[in-house]
């Protein structure tokens, strides 16, 4: 997962404050607590797995992420397995009862070949469920990604940081954009460029089927409502065929 938004260690420390109150954790945490072993791909700061351990999970918890800055934050907790890397580099010796990708991490796979390779690797690492979400392209979330929507957060050192998002290009289901981080305590702004794939409902289903994964359930939002053209999410629960 190249060009990680929070690869910078200072920015990584801002991730959890910026994402405070995430609705997806209310969905994912019960699934993690019910699974003897959990692999979180693109785990970031590891917040989901740390919450599971703090809630009493006694099984195997493993997080995989390509950003050293994010894992540096995650490693504050030593009773979870943290691995620097991605699905192309990680060696997964034993299958997991639950594999998750949260925070729209699935959307970093922007080419068909990347999606196919990722799903094949997940299928090989899976003995139970694979659960993840991707933004519904019909809802056109990127239209709200404008510089006038500015988020503000307080860093661990008390510094106030502002974040604005700007879309650079939309084409072929891919959205290229950049984040600009500014603070009165910094000499210059920091800019991070990213591209995400907004996979259609039909193309997602086809990719899962090709990978040998059967859809068990799909939801359009974290309240488990059905997927509709206006749903913000396509939340998918699947199993090996």
pLDDT 10s digits, 59-95: 999 999 999 989 999 998 999 999 999 998 888 889 9
Instruction: Read off the CATH number of the domain in which 229 is found.
Output: 3.40.50.150
CA distance 188 to 62: 36
In total, how many domains does the chain have? Answer: 2
Residues 212 and 189 in one domain: no
User: Please, what is the average pLDDT of the chain?
Assistant: 93
Mean pLDDT of 142-146: 95
Residue 49 has pLDDT above 60, yes or no: yes
Residues 123 and 225 in one domain: yes
pLDDT band at 2; cut points 50, 70, 90: very low
- Does residue 159 fall inside a structural domain? yes
For the residues of 20-88, what is the DSSP string, one character each?
A: TT-THHHHHHHHHHH-SEEEEET-TT-HHHHHHHHTT--SEEEEEES-HHHHHHHTT-TTSEEEES-TT
- Does residue 178 fall inside a structural domain? yes
CA distance 194 to 109: 11
Residues 75 and 150 in one domain: no
Residues 19 and 83 in one domain: yes
- Does residue 1 fall inside a structural domain? no
Residues 68 and 183 in one domain: no
CA distance 172 to 90: 30
Residues 15 and 99 in one domain: yes
- Does residue 67 fall inside a structural domain? yes
**Cβ neighbours of residue 186 closer than 8 Å, sequence gap 6 or more:** none
- Does residue 107 fall inside a structural domain? yes
Phi, psi (deg, nearest 5) at residue 181: -105, 130
Pure H helices in the chain: 9-18, 24-34, 47-54, 68-74, 112-124, 201-210
Residue 148 has pLDDT above 60, yes or no: yes
Question: Among the listed ranges 10-19, 160-169, 219-228, which one has the minimum average pLDDT value?
Answer: 10-19
- Does residue 153 fall inside a structural domain? yes
Other CB atoms within 10 Å distance of the CB of residue 113: 8
- Does residue 2 fall inside a structural domain? no
Residues 149 and 120 in one domain: no
Please give the pLDDT value at position 4: 54
Residues 190 and 212 in one domain: no
Residue with tokens 């050293």: 68
Residues 99 and 165 in one domain: no
Residues 179 and 212 in one domain: no
- Does residue 169 fall inside a structural domain? yes
Mean pLDDT of 219-241: 97
Q: Which of 84, 88, 48 is nearest to 65 (CA)?
A: 84
Cβ-contact 221, 231 below 8 angstroms? yes
Residues 59 and 98 in one domain: yes
Cβ-contact 102, 64 below 8 angstroms? no
Residue 3 has pLDDT above 50, yes or no: no
Percent of the chain residues past pLDDT 90, beyond the cut: 78
Residues 94 and 23 in one domain: yes
Mean pLDDT of 175-203: 94
Q: Which of 98, 102, 43, 53 is nearest to 77 (CA)?
A: 53
Instruction: Give 220's DSSP letter.
Output: S
Considering only residues 117 and 192, tell me which one the structure prediction assigns the higher pLDDT: 117
Domain residue limits at 186: 139-196
Please give the pLDDT value at position 156: 81
């Amino acid at each position: 997962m190249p060009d990680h938004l929070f690869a910078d260690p200072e920015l990584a420390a801002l991730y959890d404050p910026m994402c405070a109150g995430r609705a997806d954790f209310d969905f994912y945490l019960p699934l993690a607590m019910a699974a003897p072993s959990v692999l979180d791909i693109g785990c970031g700061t590891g917040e989901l797995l740390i919450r599971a351990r703090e809630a009493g999970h006694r099984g195997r918890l493993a997080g995989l992420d390509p950003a050293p800055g994010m894992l540096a934050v995650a490693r504050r907790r030593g009773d979870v397995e943290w691995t620097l890397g991605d699905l192309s580099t990680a060696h997964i010796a034993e299958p997991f009862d639950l594999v998750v990708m949260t925070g729209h991490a699935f959307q970093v796979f922007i080419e068909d070949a990347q999606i196919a390779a990722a799903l094949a690797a997940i299928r090989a690492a899976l003995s139970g469920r694979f659960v993840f979400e991707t933004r519904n392209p019909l809802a056109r979330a990127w239209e709200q990604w404008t510089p006038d929507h500015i988020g503000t957060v307080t860093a661990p050192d008390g510094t106030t940081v502002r974040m604005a998002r700007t879309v650079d290009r939309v084409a072929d289901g891919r959205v290229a954009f950049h984040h600009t981080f500014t603070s009165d305590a910094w000499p210059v702004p920091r800019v991070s460029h990213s591209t995400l794939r907004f996979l259609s409902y039909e193309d997602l289903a086809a990719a899962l089927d090709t990978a040998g994964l059967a859809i068990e359930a799909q939801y359009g939002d974290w309240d488990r409502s059905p997927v509709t053209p206006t749903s913000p999410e396509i939340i998918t629960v699947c199993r090996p065929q």
